[in-house]
Amino acid sequence: MKISTRTRYGVRTMIEVAKGTPEQGVFQKDIAASQLLSNKYLDHIIQALKTAQLIRNARGRKSGYVLTRDPADITIFDIHRAFEPGICLVDCVSEGYTCEMSDGCQARGFWGNLNNLIIDYFKSVTLEDLINGKVSL
């Protein structure tokens, strides 16, 4: 499983926004500069996060961005879903996928359990956890 670049930058963008002030927010040019991203590429990240209702403009069109919820209420799974439809390690455990071998496949349960562990981990880690350094190697 490989996490997309957009998702990785989405997480980093959310951290930047969370560290901003609620009154003014964080400006896109400042996020781009601190994360070494082009404004054009960051436009796509910002749009996906806005569409997922994770961020919004602080005060109108030319203002910075703020979170729509408390960082403790935003999970990494929420951010991931802004860019990807879900998490699926192998096709045979995805919804709607039909495999001729699924009835007798002895490995399918393993892949399904592993997939669920990853989803549960993404749901258990919040943006606040990342900001406060509660997630480390």
> pLDDT digits over 114-130, tens only?
999 999 999 999 999 99
Q: What is the pLDDT of residues 126-135, one digit of tens each?
A: 999 999 988 8
Could you tell me which of 67, 64, 69, 70 has the C-alpha nearest to residue 55? 67
Can you point out the beta strands (E) in the chain? 55-57, 65-67
> What is the C-alpha to C-alpha distance for residues 31 and 37, in angstroms, rounded to an integer?
8
Instruction: Output the six-digit token pair for 18.
Output: 């969370």
Angle separating helix axes 28-35 and 39-51, nearest 10 degrees: 120
pTM equals 0.88
Question: In the prediction, which pLDDT does 137 show?
Answer: 63
Q: pLDDT-based confidence at 87, cuts 50/70/90?
A: confident
Give the pLDDT confidence score for residue 90 in this predicted structure: 82
Segment holding 11, helix H or strand E? helix 5-18
Q: What is the pLDDT of residues 11-46, one digit of tens each?
A: 999 999 999 887 789 999 999 999 999 999 999 999
